[in-house]
Each structure stands twice: as structure tokens, then as C-alpha cells.
């Protein structure tokens, strides 16, 4: 395991919209900044077709906004490297970040690891993953031209991605466990006005079925009547919510019971010098705009933290030099 000798002022873990903004703010304050990412810069935006609620753009493709934010983040000298972070070791003078192949030293840390799709947890889901089951319409939608698609969930993702899939599909059926959608009203209206979108209410998917090659049906149960049916499905897109990417940080005691990281209003966790932003944070709204806002706050707060830390360390060194030797 290589230990990188440089001591960074701040290392940002994760380069989604939150991490990229934090990297931009920190490096613009002249902090020695490194962004570590295990996937693609842009995070979940890479799996989003169109973003039309990020101020400044009437509408922009997720991957395009990712590229723009990545370019912006590096303009003041923030470094970027591949790194799959496994552990944080706290320390006062510096902290350590352990990745799969290197250990980095840094004065402060911004955790911006976001969230990942939740699994349904039904038989057939794992078996047909990549063979009809998908969690990413942008990645896999085009494989389902003129096919019948089922979308599971009732939030923004299910409804927005369901409508997106109609450009390929013969028909998109959104299966929701209640009789009212959680999604924003504007997205609901779009789905209700789309001839290719149908809804099955009060219903859960109990099993995903198929032949040796791919999925061909879902086994459904109406939660009010308990009636079960077999519903044809060439593709099953699952959007049933998010899980925080925070397993590596649970031992630090900074997460709640579900794994969301708790912070104060400057994005600092209860451990001095460790900050958290964006979707991984305990927050009432998870959007590109909120991740960016969190990133700017944390990027600014780390500057104050690093300044104060170096002043304190300097004072301690001066005091220890001045102390009489007895």
C-alpha cells in the first residue's frame, strides 16, 4: 500500500455535483485540494437524461452538466484522481484516507459520496439484472425499442424516467404501491398526459420472471385486495429510492441509524475537520442544486477550519519551544 507524502489541505471524496463544487470553492481559496472518485465525475447526473431544474439552464443533459462542472472544478488547480475510499482515520494534525491502493494525508475531509439506488429485494431481481432488470433508463432504455416496460416506484425518478422511456417503448406501465404519487406535480402531469404511460396502483412486484435469456413478466399483488396477477414485461426499471453511500464512515459515529450523515449548517460533522455534503447528508431535499449549495458552504468552511488549525498548531509549537526545560 503506497502512502502519498503530500499533505493536502482538503480531500473531497466523491465528484458528483456536490464534490465538484466543494473542489471548486476550496481550490479557489488557494487550498491544496484533491478530489477522489471511484466512478465518473458527475455522479448520478451521468445517469440522468435531462435536468431542467438547475438554475441557469433551461434544460441540460446530465452528462453535459457533469462535463461542465468537472471542467469548472479543476480551473483553480484542484487535483483529481481515481480512488475508491475504504476508510477514514481521524487525527488532529492530519487525517488519513485509505483507498483500495493508496493512503492519503489531509488536514480536512469533505465526504460527498452521494447515494445509490435501493434494490426491491424480490426473487428474480438479481438473476435478471442486466437481462431485463435495470436501474438506469439513460443507460439501458434504448435496448427496449417497441417493447413493454414496467417501472416500479412512485417518486420523481420513477415518473420522470418512465416518461423518458416512452421514446423507446411501446408502452410504459408504472407500478406503485399506493394510489398517489410522491413525484413533483409537474412530473405527474407529464406522465398523466402521455398516451404511452399507464399506471397500476396499490400494487407491489413480488417476483420478476423470465426465461433463460431475459425477463418476460412480473408477478404482482394488489395490496388492498391481495389479488395476484402475472403482468407481461420485457423490461423492469426499478426506482424505489436511495441508500446513502456511507458504510465506510459508519464507525466514525457521524451517521444516523439509516446511514445518512448528520452535519451542522456549515456542513461539518461532529468530528472537527470532517464535513459532509449532498445526497449522503441528512437533508430534506436531494437535488443537484442542493448538492451544489452544500458544496459551496463546505468549500468555504474548510478554508476557515484549515486556517484555524494551522494557527493553533503553530501556537502549540511556539509554546512548547518557549517552555523552560527542568
- Kind of pairing, strands 115-117 and 242-244? antiparallel
For residues 186 and 193, give the distance between their C-alpha atoms in angstroms, rounded to a whole number: 11
Whether the CB-CB separation of 77 and 70 falls below 8 Å is answered with no
- Kind of pairing, strands 85-89 and 95-99? antiparallel
Q: Nearest CA to 9 among 100, 95, 114, 72?
A: 95
Smallest distance, Å, CB 240 to ligand FAD? 11
**Does 224 contact ligand NAP by CB under 6 A?**
no
Number of Cβ within a 10 Å radius of residue 38: 15
Whether the CB-CB separation of 214 and 131 falls below 8 Å is answered with yes
Q: Which stretch binds ligand FAD (CB under 6 A): 39-47, 89-97, 227-235, 255-263?
A: 39-47
Nearer to ligand NAP, 149 or 242 (CB): 242
Which among ligand FAD, ligand NAP, none contacts residue 112 (Cβ within 5 to 8 A by kind)? ligand FAD
Which among ligand FAD, ligand NAP, none contacts residue 182 (Cβ within 5 to 8 A by kind)? ligand NAP
Number of Cβ within a 10 Å radius of residue 88: 22
x/- letters, 171..200, toward ligand NAP (CB under 6 A):
------xx---x------------------
Among residues 39, 155, 241, 259, the one that binds ligand FAD under rule CB under 6 A? 39
DSSP state of 30: T
Among residues 154, 244, 295, 299, the one that binds ligand NAP under rule CB under 6 A? 154
**Does 157 contact ligand NAP by CB under 6 A?**
yes
**Does 39 contact ligand NAP by CB under 6 A?**
no
x/- letters, 5..34, toward ligand FAD (CB under 6 A):
--------xxxxxxx---------------
For residues 133 and 150, give the distance between their C-alpha atoms in angstroms, rounded to a whole number: 10
157: left (phi over 0), alpha (psi -120 to 50) or beta: alpha
Indicate the SS3 state at residue 52: coil
For residues 299 and 110, give the distance between their C-alpha atoms in angstroms, rounded to a whole number: 8
Write out the binding residues for ligand NAP, residues 244-263 only, by CB under 6 A.
none
What is the contact surface with ligand FAD in residues (CB under 6 A)? 13-19, 36-39, 43-45, 47-48, 51, 53-54, 83-85, 112-115, 157, 161, 245, 248, 278-279, 286-289, 291
Residues marked active site are found at 136, 139-140
What is the contact surface with ligand NAP in residues (CB under 6 A)? 53, 120, 152-158, 160, 177-178, 182, 204, 239-242, 286-287
Amino acid at each position: 500500500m503506497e502512502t502519498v507524502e503530500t499533505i493536502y489541505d482538503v480531500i473531497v471524496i466523491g465528484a458528483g455535483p456536490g464534490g465538484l463544487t466543494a473542489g471548486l470553492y476550496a481550490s479557489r481559496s488557494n487550498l491544496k485540494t484533491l478530489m477522489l472518485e471511484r466512478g465518473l465525475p458527475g455522479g448520478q447526473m451521468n445517469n440522468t437524461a435531462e435536468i431542467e431544474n438547475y438554475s441557469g439552464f433551461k434544460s441540460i443533459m446530465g452528462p453535459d452538466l457533469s462535463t461542465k462542472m468537472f471542467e469548472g472544478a479543476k480551473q483553480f488547480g484542484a487535483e483529481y484522481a481515481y480512488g475508491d475510499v475504504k476508510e477514514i482515520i481521524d487525527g488532529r494534525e492530519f487525517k488519513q484516507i485509505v483507498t483500495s491502493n493508496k493512503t492519503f494525508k489531509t488536514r480536512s475531509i469533505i465526504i460527498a459520496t452521494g447515494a445509490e439506488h435501493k434494490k426491491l429485494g424480490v426473487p428474480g431481481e438479481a438473476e435478471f439484472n442486466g437481462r431485463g432488470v435495470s436501474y438506469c433508463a439513460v443507460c439501458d432504455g434504448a435496448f427496449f425499442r417497441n417493447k413493454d416496460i414496467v417501472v416500479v416506484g412512485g417518486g420523481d425518478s420513477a415518473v420522470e424516467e418512465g416518461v423518458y422511456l416512452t421514446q423507446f417503448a411501446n408502452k410504459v406501465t408504472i407500478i406503485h404501491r399506493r394510489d398517489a404519487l410522491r413525484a413533483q406535480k409537474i412530473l405527474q402531469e407529464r406522465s398523466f398526459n402521455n398516451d404511452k404511460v399507464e399506471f397500476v396502483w396499490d400494487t407491489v412486484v413480488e417476483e420478476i420472471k423470465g426465461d433463460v435469456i431475459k425477463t418476460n413478466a412480473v408477478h404482482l399483488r394488489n395490496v388492498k385486495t391481495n389479488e395476484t396477477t402475472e403482468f407481461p414485461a420485457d423490461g423492469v426499471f426499478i426506482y424505489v429510492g436511495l441508500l446513502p453511500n456511507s458504510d465506510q464512515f459508519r464507525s466514525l459515529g457521524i451517521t444516523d441509524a439509516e446511514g445518512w450523515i448528520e452535519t451542522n449548517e456549515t456542513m461539518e460533522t461532529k468530528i472537527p475537520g470532517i464535513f459532509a455534503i449532498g445526497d449522503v447528508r441528512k437533508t430534506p431535499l436531494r437535488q443537484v442544486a442542493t448538492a451544489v449549495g452544500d458544496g459551496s458552504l463546505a468549500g468555504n468552511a474548510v478554508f476557515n477550519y484549515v486556517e484555524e488549525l494551522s494557527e493553533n498548531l503553530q501556537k502549540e509549537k511556539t509554546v512548547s519551544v518557549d517552555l523552560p526545560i527542568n
